[in-house]
Amino acid sequence: MGQRTEIRRVFADVDALNRGAAEELCTRCTGAVERQGKCSLVLSGGNTPQGLYQLLAREYRERVPWKNMDIYWGDERYVPHNDPKSNYRRAREILLDQVPIEPTRIHPIPTSSPDPEEAARSYESLLRQKFTGGRATFDIVLLGVGTDGHVASLFPGSTALQERERWVVVTSAPAPPVTRISLTFPALNAASEILLLVSGVEKSAILLELERANKGTGSPLPVSKLSPAGPLLFFVDRQAAGA
């Protein structure tokens, strides 16, 4: 893997961070559609991106090429899609039900099978049909980071961190909902760009450890294994930056 291009932008507060992320997404998605007629966007779960999703559904609604967008998820809690904890449900309510996107271009991680392994393999099969070149070349992957340094549902100590072949696996979270479906690093790192949103003082320790890791000590944190084909953008507010 080539040397990753890591770019950090610090914003005054979470509102400015969300606006910066909305601008980046509009630019990236519009450029992808101009180049290739479509754009594949991977959404994140968790709380951090909720403000961004609201901006994309309202103020930035007309600046996203929704009719040419394909929407995926980086991870999912293994709960029904109508469960309040579902990443899919939260993204639909706040964003996708508010914008002119074709339902056939929304690709949730399935959670209806009694066997989560079947769901993981089914999603991987879908991805391999969509990305036929053997790499999950998403145009942009949106991620948050947990206070333990996890990204998507790739948690510290998980064997999934060492996965090198599969694109989608079942993982276990330290907090309920325990069963998760997650993209792996081979899938995440095939992306043309990763946009990672970090907000709040509770995330400052993670960023400090990453700074130390970048100075050569290395880090076991899952987030430190992000190394996309294109830019890795950290959009951080002052609280998380410790500024």
192 binds ligand 6PG (CB under 6 A): no
Interacting positions 212-231 with ligand 6PG (CB under 6 A) = none
116 binds ligand 6PG (CB under 6 A): no
Instruction: Give the count of residues interacting with ligand 6PG (CB under 6 A).
Output: 15
In 61-108, which residue ranges form alpha helices assigned H by DSSP? 87-94
Element (H, E) at 11: strand 5-11
Residues in contact with 45: Cβ distance below 8 Å, sequence separation at least 6, in sequence order: 73, 74, 75, 76, 77, 87, 90, 91, 144
20 binds ligand 6PG (CB under 6 A): no
Quote the least distance from Cβ 62 to ligand 6PG, whole Å. 27
Q: What is the rounded distance in angstroms from the CA atom of residue 227 to the CA atom of residue 3?
A: 8
Q: Which of 47, 113, 125, 214 binds ligand 6PG (CB under 6 A)?
A: 47
In 104-195, which residue ranges form alpha helices assigned H by DSSP? 116-130, 185-188
- Please return the burial class of 216, using the count of CB atoms within 10 Å of its CB with bins 0-12, 13-18 and 19+: exposed
Q: Which of 17, 29, 39, 44 binds ligand 6PG (CB under 6 A)?
A: 44
Name residue 231's amino acid: P
Q: Which of 46, 156, 186, 242 binds ligand 6PG (CB under 6 A)?
A: 46
189 binds ligand 6PG (CB under 6 A): no
Strands 5-11 and 231-237: parallel
144 binds ligand 6PG (CB under 6 A): yes
237 binds ligand 6PG (CB under 6 A): no
Query: HSE-up of 71 (CA within 13 Å, CB side)?
Result: 25
Q: Which of 45, 51, 108, 116 binds ligand 6PG (CB under 6 A)?
A: 45
Q: Name the residue among 142, 141, 174 with its Cα closest to residue 158.
A: 174
Per-residue contact string for residues 51-90; x = within reach of ligand 6PG by CB under 6 A: ------------------------x-x---------x---
Q: 14 vs 39, which CB is nearer to ligand 6PG?
A: 14
Q: 65 vs 74, which CB is nearer to ligand 6PG?
A: 74
Enumerate the β-bridge partners of residue 43: 73
Q: 30 vs 227, which CB is nearer to ligand 6PG?
A: 227
Give the footprint of ligand 6PG on this chain (CB under 6 A): 44-48, 75, 77, 87, 144-146, 150-153
